[in-house]
Structure 1
Amino acid sequence: MFKLPAFAAILVSLAACANKSDEIAASFVSPTPYQGMTCQKLAAEAQVVANRAAAASTAQDKKASNDAVATGVGVVLFWPALFFIKGDGSQAAEVGRLKGEMQAIETANTANNCNIRFAS
């Protein structure tokens, strides 16, 4: 029979798992620094931020995947594996900040009528 402490540990470990990058909301970043840029500089900055966001998202997704594996192993085979679940941290904050920067660049793009196309 399931014991309450074991069940509680499983619930806590599931709540502590890292989120996938697409589940992380964008943080607010002011578009003001970008609004004074030329369209060419804005496009170059968008490319730099997009590349950094892609790398940060890949790292966050790997972290989420590792947490999911540790949870599965902990629940099914070896409960001490639950202690290896790290959850969200600075990597998730970086993903949110970079998403916010992309939104700020898109806002400046619209305000400056640059017609830069952004991929989702």
Structure 2
Amino acid sequence: MKKSTLAALALCIGLGGCATASKDVPTTYMSPKLFETYNCAQLSSELQRISTRVVQLGGRLDKAASNDKALTGVGVILFWPALLHLGGTKVPEANYARLKGEFDAVQQSLNIKQCPAEAIVAAK
């Protein structure tokens, strides 16, 4: 029993199958130059749009990570084939990392253009 449990755990880790929580997804760098043609109002609007998407996608990633933790516990203890259903969030993680980078780039653009604080605060 111990060998099969260890084998199942090794399989989970080896496949890299566990979903990543949003806080652990590294930000992809995006240049603020992407937004140099935007005015302050457009930057504020873009920051709000990105912020909404970051929250939505981050929630999905966190839920997937939580589900994977629970499934790992069940798989290791009761039914190892359940471990084969872990992960599968690489594309959403890449999108989340890109969105975080865009968010940072828009914030930098707001600062570079010296937009009024109301534009920045309204987006949060």
Give the TM interval when normalised to the shorter protein. Answer: 0.7 to 0.9
Task: Give the TM-score normalised by the residue count of structure 1.
Answer: 0.87
**Alignment length, in residue pairs?**
118
Structure with the larger helix share:
2
Partner of residue 18, structure 1:
19
Q: Does 1:79 align with 2:41?
A: no
Which residues of 2 match residues 8-87 of structure 1 at below 5 A? 8-14=7-13, 15-87=16-88
Is the partner of 2:96 in helix, strand or coil?
Answer: helix
- Which stretches in structure 2 are left out of the alignment for 5+ residues? none
TM-score, normalised to structure 2's length? 0.85
Equivalents in 2 of 1:11, 1:18: separation in Å? 16
Q: Unpaired runs of 5+ in structure 1?
A: none
After superposition, give the CA deviation of every residue in 1:17-37 in whole Å (9 maximum; x if it has no partner): 111001101111121121221
| Residue type at the aligned position of 1:2 | K
Q: Distance in 2 between matches of 1:96 and 1:80?
A: 30
Residues 87/12 of structure 1: CA separation in 2 closer, same or farther (3 Å cut): farther
Structure 1 position 47, deviation (Å): 0.3
Distance in 2 between residues matched to 1:42 and 1:29, nearest whole Å: 15
- Structure 1 position 78, deviation (Å): 1.0
How far apart are 1:11 and its partner, in Å?
A: 3.0
- Opposite residue 11 of structure 1, the aligned amino acid is A
4+ runs of 1 displaced by more than 3 Å?
Answer: none
